[in-house]
Each structure stands twice: as structure tokens, then as C-alpha cells.
Amino acid sequence: MVKIQEAPEPLGVREQQKQATRASILQAALEMFAEKGFEGASIRDIAAKVGVNHALIKYHFEDKESLWKAAVEFLFDRLNEEMTVAPESEEGLSELDRVKNFVRRYVHYCAQHPEHARIMVQASVRDDERLEWATRFIKRSHMVGMTDLKKHVREGIWPNVSHISLIYILVAVCQTFFMLAPEVKRIHGIDPFSKKAIDAHADAIITLFFDHKSED
Amino acid sequence: MVKIQEAPEPLGVREQQKQATRASILQAALEMFAEKGFEGASIRDIAAKVGVNHALIKYHFEDKESLWKAAVEFLFDRLNEEMTVAPESEEGLSELDRVKNFVRRYVHYCAQHPEHARIMVQASVRDDERLEWATRFIKRSHMVGMTDLKKHVREGIWPNVSHISLIYILVAVCQTFFMLAPEVKRIHGIDPFSKKAIDAHADAIITLFFDHKSED
DNA sequence: GTCTATAATTAGATAGAC
DNA sequence: GTCTATCTAATTATAGAC
């Protein structure tokens, strides 16, 4: 019995439960991979965190590698969603103010989802099959940023230096403070995820990059 | 038979071989821990990389945890050595030029030893006993930097924003480009460790931070 | 869909030979 | 000092019950 439909039917309660379990496993996997790395995070610990049997993960994700890939896809899908901005909301703003808004938005994204940087950094320090696979996602987000960045260099917003270095500088300053949150807490005794610290960090970046000139 | 001596005697050939083996194991451990993380790097792979039996590692380093700690101590000892500068070499320089020199020196350190950032980032994303142990080393290097940084904020070299954010911004921009070298190569097709890329990166940071003012 | 039970592999540790 | 051999524990994977 095949149904032809424009919008998806309301799911059966069993199917709903399935998707909920799948989502819980994915969420637990994100946290575990972020904290312990690919080998350090065990299927069994992820299952235990969700409260299901480890064999169930095979049913939803085939194997550990596939689970990791599903987690990475989820990260970049969410990044695209959350970083997209309605054009109307920026009408009348100068290009510099748009760049500043972008920095604020990205800083907040990094604070809300530190597991993104944690997982991707651990992927990007080793030149293996997983990094090769993830390259398409990283590449896509870099290419989008690169186009804008080159335009902004021409407009004098960024200095005319290596574009590749600039991209990594921008990403690094937004991510690192939150990625290393456990260290920041231990060394400096502050919580990077507090509203105050998040705003102070965005302010620091924007002031240093765009509103500051060193005195000799 | 006890010898009292001012300077160490020339070591026996057997003892020399022992220390050479120990150093090789430590070097291999640094590379493996950096690339694969604590759990991902196996004692057996490290031993295989050196060309010795895995049981020998226990003789030199007791267990995996101790080997990791020895590797981290080595990293910070070398950091202190290589970042120390003779006061004479900076005589007559303005404070701003000293800061620029510091950035250049640190960028070169990060390029020469990307395993430092790789190992410490993986330690700092998880709040466990190893990070607690490593805190003393991180703290020491942050405290040195923090004192100078506050002075330089007063002098107008850095903008008057969160000092903690500034520290992480500075460290992040110097480290990340080299830490993520495998990614940089795959995405942008350049080698971050080439002399040209290293210098361009240091230039990018210094220009952006100290020699640039955005146009509105 | 989810769990039980178990096979197959791999890792860290260590006793003892050389 | 270094290696061989072995033990134990943990992990991924999977067949099959419910």
C-alpha cells in the first residue's frame, strides 16, 4: 500500500520513538566524541549515556565510523541553519557592521555548541580517511567565508594579508575560548559559557580586529 | 662505590644507549599522542614506531599515563627554553616591537612543534585527572604572559578588553593554523610549514592586531 | 525496535628468559 | 636493557531471542 503525499504524514508512535532514540544516540555520540575523541569514546559508553544497550547502536548507525559521520553531518547541517541570517534583518547596515554581526553570531554559535570545534579539531590533526571524508563539509563552509572575506579585504575591513591565514585567525579566535572551556575554568576561574564572558569575548575580538590601533 | 663530582661523568655506552632509547620512545609518544589522542595512541604502536618491543616502554616509563605525563613535561620544558630570549637582543626596541617579536617567535615555535598544541588541546577539552595534573604547566605559562599583557594594555598596545579573552585570542591565532595543518593542506592546498606560509601567518597576525584600522 | 549472549580482536600490563 | 610469552580487561561487532 503506497501513499502519494506532498507533506509527510504524522508518524506512527513506534516510528516516533525510533527517531527519538536515534536522536538521543546522536546527541550522546556528539558529546562523547567531542570529549574523548574517536577511539576514546566507546560505543558502550555512548549507549550507557542514552540508557540503551550497545547493540542497538548498530541497528541505527551500522558501525562506529558511520555514527561518527552522522554526527559530523549533523554538526554542519546545524551550523548552516544557525548561521544563516535573513537579508531583511541587515538592511541599511554598513558592510563593517555586517562583519561585526557575523563575528557575534559565530561567537555565540561556538559558545552554544563547543562540541563542533572539539570534534573537528580532533579530526583535522590527523590525515586519515575520516578527515578526507569530512573535507567536503569543511571546504563548503570555508568557501562561503572566503568569498566574503576577499571582498572585505578589498573594502579595507580586513588588512591585505594572506587570506588563508585570515580565515584561520577568525575561526580560531571565535572557537578556542569555548573549545578549551575546562582549561579556562581551571586556569582562570571563570565560566566561558556565562552570558557575560560570551559577550566580553565577542567584544574583545571586534575591538581588537576593527576598532583598535596600537600606539607606538 | 660512590663518586663525588661537580660535573657529570661521561656516561657509559650502555647508559647512553638507554637514554637514547628513552628519548626515541618519548619522541614517538609525542607524535602518536598528538595525532591520535591518549586512547587512540597505543603503547604497541608507539613501540613499533621506535622499533622496540612494547614491554620495553614499561621499563622506561612505568605505564601509559606516566609516558603521557613525561611527554607533557618535555613539551613545556622545551617551550620555556625556546621562548626565552636574551635581554641584550632586545635592547633599544620599543615595547610594541618587543610584542611583535614575541608573536613572531611564538608563531615559529608553533610551526616547529605542532604536537604541543595538538596534545594540549586534546587534554584541555576534557575535565579529567590528566588536565588537573597538567594545570600547573599551563598556569605557569599563562601567568608569565598575563603579567606582560596587562602592562601592554595600559600602554595602549592591546585594547582594553577582557584580559582572559586576549590571552586565548593570542594563543589561538598563533597555534591553530599549524595545529590543523592536515586540514589546511586538504582544503586550501598549501603547506603551512613552508617558510613562506609561516612568515605570511606571522605577518597576518601582526598587521591585523597592531598595524591596521578598519575603514567605515 | 530493543535486548541477551557471545565471538573476535586488541590493548595494557607483567613475569621471566636472555 | 631488551625481548618473549602470557594474562586480563575492554572493545567492536553480530547472531539470534523477544
Q: Please report, as a single letter, which amino acid is at residue B130.
A: R
Q: Which residues of B fall within a CB distance of 8 Å from A186?
A: 127, 131-132, 135, 138
Report whether B155 contacts B164 (CB < 8 A). Answer: no
CA closest to A169 among chain B residues: B173
Q: Which residues of A fall within a CB distance of 8 Å from B162?
A: 197, 200-201, 203-204
Instruction: Indicate yes or no: CB of A204 within 8 angstroms of CB of B161.
Output: yes
Of all nucleotides, the one whose C1′ comes closest to residue B42's CA is C11
Buried/exposed code over B24-43 (b: 16+ C-beta within 10 A; e: otherwise): bbbbbbbbbbbbbbbebbeb
Bin A9: left if φ > 0, else alpha if -120 < ψ < 50, else beta: beta
Mean pLDDT score, B204-214: 96
Q: How many CB atoms lie within 10 A of CB A126?
A: 19
pLDDT in tens, B95-130: 999 999 999 999 999 999 999 999 999 999 999 999
* Contacts (Cβ under 8 Å, ≥6 apart) of B62: none
- A193 vs A197: CA distance, rounded Å: 6
Domain A85-211 is found in CATH 1.10.510.10 = no
Burial class (CB in 10 A: 0-12, 13-18, 19+), B54: middle
Of all nucleotides, the one whose C1′ comes closest to residue A42's CA is D11
pLDDT in tens, B60-106: 999 999 999 999 999 999 999 999 999 999 999 999 999 999 999 99
- Residue ranges, CATH 1.10.10.60, chain B: 12-63
- What percent of chain B has a predicted confidence (pLDDT) above 90? 92
Nearest CA-CA distance, residue B83 and chain A, Å: 21
pLDDT for B8: 56
For testing contact with chain A, the best of B124, B146, B154, B196 (most A CBs within 10 A): B124
CA closest to A167 among chain B residues: B177
In Å, what is the separation between the CA of B149 and the C1' of D16?
Answer: 65
- Residue ranges, CATH 1.10.357.10, chain A: 85-211
Q: Is the pLDDT of residue B9 over 70?
A: no
Output the nine-digit C-alpha cell for B15: 647508559
pLDDT for B34: 98
pLDDT for B181: 99
Instruction: Indicate yes or no: CB of B187 within 8 angstroms of CB of A142.
Output: yes
Closest by CA position to B50, among listed B66, B37, B61? B61
DSSP structure string for B108-176: HHHHH-HHHHHHHHHHHTS-SHHHHHHHHHHHHHHHHHHHHHHHHHHTTSS-SS-HHHHHHHHHHHHHH
Q: How confident is the model at residue B2 (pLDDT cuts 50, 70, 90)?
A: very low
Q: Is the pLDDT of residue B6 over 80?
A: no
Q: How confident is the model at residue B216 (pLDDT cuts 50, 70, 90)?
A: confident
In Å, what is the separation between the CA of B71 and the C1' of D5?
Answer: 29
pLDDT for A4: 47
CATH class of B12-63: mainly alpha
Mean pLDDT score, B184-192: 98
Q: How confident is the model at residue B10 (pLDDT cuts 50, 70, 90)?
A: low
Report whether A23 contacts A50 (CB < 8 A). Answer: no
| Residue A158 main-chain phi, psi, to 5 deg | -105, 150
Regions of chain A with pLDDT less than 50: 1-4, 6
Q: Which residues of A fall within a CB distance of 8 Å from B180?
A: 121, 124-125, 168
Q: What angle do CA B30, A135, B208 make, to 5 degrees?
A: 75
